[in-house]
Chain A
Amino acid sequence: MKDKVLIANRGEIALRIMRACRDLGLDYVVVYTEADEQSEHVQRNIDSESNQRRAWRVASYTDPNDILAVADHTKCTAIHPGYGFFSEDYRFARRVTVRDQPLTFIGPKWEVIKDLGDKINTKRVANQLGIPTIPGTDGPIYNEIDAEEISRRLLEDQAERGISQPSVLVKAAAGGGGMGIEEVHEIEQFRRVYRQVQNYAKRQFGDPGVLIEQCLRDYNHLEVQLLCSRHGERVHFGTRNCTIQSTGRQKRLEAAPGFDTSCFPYEFDAPAVLDEIVENSLKLASHVRYDNVGTWEWIVSRSGQPYLLEVNTRIQVENDVSARISYLNGQHPNLIREQIRLALGDKLGYSQSDIEFRGTSIELRIVAEDPQRGFAPWIGTISQFSFPRHEWSAVYTHVPTDRPYAIPSDYDPNLALALVWGDSMAEAKQRARRFLDEMVIEGHNSSGAPINTNLQYLADNMDRLLTF
């Protein structure tokens, strides 16, 4: 029987999954919420000329009951969660795969998502394998005396290694998204900060456990793109550098490969570090029997010491940055297509030696937000949206170019992903600047104020790419 995929996401990723399904000859169904009715992924399917209805309205993208009801009704056999929403929810993955009428979850096995979805657990597993992680605890601490001892050791260690401003972070173990994190520079301050964080954690999350970690400054955020099949084959698609982030750790500029010795004099052997993190990523993947597309996030300090940060068990927004610089039998791979194919049980069909890396690429995330005011999201209607077309650029967007588009206030105001590539990093940066110059976005909100976008912010930060 032919597989049918339910796309449980919105925006440009929904469009890309649709395209991948069409490439693979698979039928698909999309879901949408009331707020997204005008969106491209709905509009293309709602008046589909075929007799089958392809778009179904649900109450929310995060309601598993609704989505499974649609899947059952339309006789889907697989669910693609995209990114965000259900993509890293092992409970959803489990529910999809262990129910009475099991479906295929396009992503890793739920056990893998569970193991690697928890940062602390990932750290524990990595430590067992000897993969470097950020020095600190690998479990919540409840005891003040232990906590102080650990942070004292961390501070001494940093001082010994000649780090100019030693400091540790005290985090709420149950927290996330940057809440409940405090910095300590001297051991004398520790108890005060510890109690503060503990009280906060207790009040906010009901769990007084804290984590203690070395605080890193001057680092680059790197990612390794892996692709694994259900049959134990594993390949990688190189590294990316995602250091330029807005507050709240939202990535804004990504470049591949991870380091480029032509644009910055690194203090360390950059290619060796890249090889090391790729190798370690593959090691962890084979240990947990990883079986789909995934991204290993690393932190590399100024001195070239890599630390494993976490694993994203899903397709990522920026997967095309890596795809653009890799050649599989002379073609750029489509990672979403590969993901669906492998999730449905196909074999990889090629090996690492068939993959070549050439050139550089930069991805720009164009978002309606105000970088001056803490990246506050902008809400309103876009009246004109046009972007340049070159043979060295590609744009993914769900914003229609031929009619006004109201940005739904329920979701992040992402407008488009632009991909620019070139033979060298200098050329790619140059082209990216030009692309941003030629981009036109106009619009007003309800009070008549013009649209805020991060175009200028992206251009300003272009120079910081791949540097320390």
Chain B
Amino acid sequence: MEDLRKRLLKAEERISYLGWIKEGSEWANLPALQEKLQGLRDAFYEHSHEHLAEKIGALEESLTFLESRCEESLSPMERVRIVRSPLRFSLKDMLENVYEEYTELGGEEDANIDPALVAARASIARRVKNKVVMQQVMVIGHEKGQGEEYRQGGSTKPWGNEKALRYMRVAETEGIPIHFYVFTPGAFPVEDYPGAGQQIARNLYAMAKLRVPMIAVTSEGGSGGAEAVGMGDIRLMFSHGYYSVISPEGAAAIEGKIREGVKVPKDLLENCAERLAITAGDNLRHGTIDRVIQEPLLGARRDDFAFFRRVKDEMIRATDEVVLKTKSLRAFRAYELKMEKAGADDDLRGYVSWELADDEIGRLILYRSRKYRQMAIQGYREHLSTGAAMYRRLGRGLAKFYYTLRYDVLKSRHKQVKKVMEDVSGEGSVLIKQVSAPFTAAYDFITRKPGSRVARSSAGWGSSSPEQIEYGEIYTSSLANEDRTVSCPNADKHGCKDLWVPDLYGEFCGVCENCGHHFPLEYQWYMKHLFEPDSIREFNADLASINPLSFPGFDKKLEAARKKTGRPCAMITFDARVMGVDIVVAMLYSDFRNGTVGAAEGEKFVRACEIARIKRRPLLSYVHTTGGIRIHEGTLGVIQMPKCTMAVREYIDSGGLYIVVYDNNSYAGPVASFLGCSPYQFAIRSSRLGFAGPRVIRDTTGEDVPPDYHSARSALKRGHIQGIWDRRDFRRNLHKSLMTMGGGNLYYR
């Protein structure tokens, strides 16, 4: 009888699970089934064993049928609900079932700096010819902790990500692979030291060149939080997981322009989830993940031991694959690995040591860099005829040759030559002076007239230093053409007078003369005022944003943005000169879809990094405004975070100087990746920057933030940025930074 009771309980669980997935709807008459089960349970002792077994068997059969029907037509939103189900496996189940032994690091349970992120040293077992071999790995992942309040549902705080980074470095020191498990709905959007975005950027920056193999598996991948521990050499995904740029609720709220506190309509939510392409299949198709780990019907639950076994095999296989790719002697084993099916008898597999030699590590990092460079290349469009493409390639090749010759080959020689020349000319001048001294004295004596020098015109005393170059005359903001006044937001505090618009946007450069509040200015102003006239040469101007996910209605929006700005995407990259120093600039501006970053912007940025690296020039990332990652491009947008950070890392490692300047509003993804990872970040006064806006913070944490939470001043206090610049002194500050800051390969210093 006991086993029947157990089966009954199990059946009940399955019904309620189905109900959870279908969110209480009366799909397939679930309530009737529930009633039937209730009837069976009530009359449990009234039936004979056989009868009961038969009844339960019938119930189970219809349940199995229902489950397979449900599985066939799983909508993305239902997948989200599966992932969020309390029955779903968590990291702890993984640690217990996939690995043999593990030790949790950096705290346990709630006695932990951030219980939402778990780091553990674990050993994974594989059998080699009747012998069990243990291999050490570092496991880092989010712990949703079903029902455990203190884990915040896997939402990591910045210090949790910091812990992850710390143990990544431990793994790097010890030379063991890292297995990442991503179970997070998103990062916890606080700005306390070091700030959610800041820490994610640091993690990404470190992972770009981490010297050990990394495997990432995603079950629930919510945007930035997922990227903080998700930059794998191989990215796996559970078949019922989701990986998305933003939670479907968030996307729906933005798309439907839902006001705060209003519930998102269900069909809009379903729609958004559908469009965002969040499922494993979609992500595999778009190349943002490499492989899918198949789960049982309707997703694995915490007691699916066969599934855990499969996960273990997949993890070993993925790690082997990464390691083998770096080995020179690998042909047979790699072939075998390729032929092998997951879950097959692991006796057949050859042993692969996970320790890497130095040259192998080099290859590992190279392959990682190539992998991320190639991601999301289908997400933008470039109009290039074959001839133009050839021409461009030739140009690149020549430029590379020229700059290598100039800076690598000739630079050291040049120094030597210069030194010799200095010596010679020094000797020569002394010699000439000695010889000619008597004649000069005589000449001076003869030509000397009393007071002859008094008549010298007082003109010409001043030396024209570069500071005196006035670019300001050539461009006045188009905002300045109205005869009206605006009030300064600080008028109450500082008693500022109302400002006349032509003054404000003309001479005051959009700055209140009394309190120094900066009003937003259009990006063209910076183009004209910051750089020397005629020094701006734009490149990759034909790279265009497209609608890779065929997001309904987005084509129209893109078209409108194109018409408004006359540009194909939200990033402009160009060569420019600032007070005599050549630099490369990548500029995100607000007019095009609020400066959001998608595949085209990311690609442009990466190319700008490459050009700056080839030309040995400093790279300035000026952020006029950015609203984050463009949600309409789904994970193709999110993938720009690791992709661009990788490019930045390579640029900085090759000796470049990367300066970031924030203006107006900069939030979310870009700040948490390729902008936030710069060691030199500055903000224009009165700008705001951070990870998530006040509304998102309110929604996620339930707390209101003070009004100056995201102000540049607060960011400076937290150590996010290095300084606050006045817009009027932008050029001088930039020049000073270029002359004083980092970068080993800058030829001009």
Q: Give the residues from 102 to 149 in chain A that come closer than 8 angstroms, CB to CB, to chain B.
A: 127-128, 130, 132-143, 146
Task: For B728, give the chain A residue with the smallest CB separation.
Answer: A206
Of the candidates B459, B485, B726, the one whose C-beta lies within 8 Å of that of A128 is: B459
Complex alpha-carbon distance, A187 and B502, angstroms: 46
Task: For A158, give the chain B residue with the smallest CB separation.
Answer: B454
20 more A-B residue pairs beyond the given contacts A139-B462, A150-B461, with a C-beta to C-beta distance below 8 A: A91-B500, A91-B503, A94-B503, A95-B503, A99-B483, A127-B459, A128-B459, A130-B457, A133-B458, A136-B461, A138-B461, A138-B462, A139-B468, A140-B465, A143-B465, A146-B463, A150-B462, A153-B461, A160-B454, A206-B726
Residues of chain B within 8 A of A141, CB atoms compared = 462-463, 465
Q: A142 near B465 (CB under 8 angstroms)?
A: yes
Task: For A133, give the chain B residue with the smallest CB separation.
Answer: B458
Q: B502 near A98 (CB under 8 angstroms)?
A: yes
A136 nearest CB across to chain B (Å) = 6
Residues of chain B within 8 A of A94, CB atoms compared = 502-503
Q: Does chain A have a CB within 8 A of B302?
A: no
Residues of chain A within 8 A of B497, CB atoms compared = 63-65
Task: For A114, give the chain B residue with the smallest CB separation.
Answer: B507
Q: Does chain A have a CB within 8 A of B498?
A: yes
Q: B451 near A160 (CB under 8 angstroms)?
A: yes
Q: A206 near B729 (CB under 8 angstroms)?
A: yes
Residues of chain B within 8 A of A390, CB atoms compared = none
Residues of chain A within 8 A of B461, CB atoms compared = 135-138, 150, 153-154, 212
B740 nearest CB across to chain A (Å) = 15
Q: Does chain B have a CB within 8 A of A209?
A: yes
A137 nearest CB across to chain B (Å) = 4
Q: Number of B interface residues, CB 8 Å?
A: 24
Q: Does chain B have a CB within 8 A of A47?
A: no
Which residues of B are at the interface with A, using a C-beta cutoff of 8 A? 451, 453-454, 456-459, 461-465, 467-468, 483, 485, 497-498, 500, 502-503, 507, 726, 729
Residues of chain A within 8 A of B463, CB atoms compared = 137, 141, 143, 146, 150
Residues of chain A within 8 A of B453, CB atoms compared = 157, 160
Residues of chain A within 8 A of B454, CB atoms compared = 157, 160-161
Residues of chain B within 8 A of A135, CB atoms compared = 458, 461
Q: Give the residues from 55 to 107 in chain A that come closer than 8 angstroms, CB to CB, to chain B.
A: 63-65, 91, 94-95, 98-100
Residues of chain B within 8 A of A153, CB atoms compared = 461
Complex alpha-carbon distance, A12 and B77, angstroms: 80
Residues of chain B within 8 A of A133, CB atoms compared = 458
Q: List 19 A-B contacts (CB under 8 A).
A: A63-B497, A64-B497, A65-B498, A91-B503, A95-B500, A98-B502, A99-B483, A130-B457, A135-B458, A139-B465, A139-B468, A140-B467, A140-B468, A143-B463, A143-B465, A146-B465, A150-B462, A161-B451, A209-B467
Task: For B461, give the chain A residue with the smallest CB separation.
Answer: A137
Complex alpha-carbon distance, A157 and B461, angstroms: 12
Residues of chain B within 8 A of A138, CB atoms compared = 459, 461-462
- Sorted nearest first, the 9 A-B pairs with minimum C-beta distance are A127-B459, A137-B462, A100-B483, A139-B462, A135-B458, A138-B462, A99-B483, A146-B463, A65-B498
Residues of chain A within 8 A of B483, CB atoms compared = 98-100
Complex alpha-carbon distance, A407 and B454, angstroms: 51
Task: For B498, give the chain A residue with the smallest CB separation.
Answer: A65
A99 nearest CB across to chain B (Å) = 5
Residues of chain A within 8 A of B485, CB atoms compared = 65
B463 nearest CB across to chain A (Å) = 5
Complex alpha-carbon distance, A100 and B465, angstroms: 39
Residues of chain A within 8 A of B456, CB atoms compared = 157
B703 nearest CB across to chain A (Å) = 37
Task: For B463, give the chain A residue with the smallest CB separation.
Answer: A146
Complex alpha-carbon distance, A98 and B481, angstroms: 10
Complex alpha-carbon distance, A133 and B485, angstroms: 40
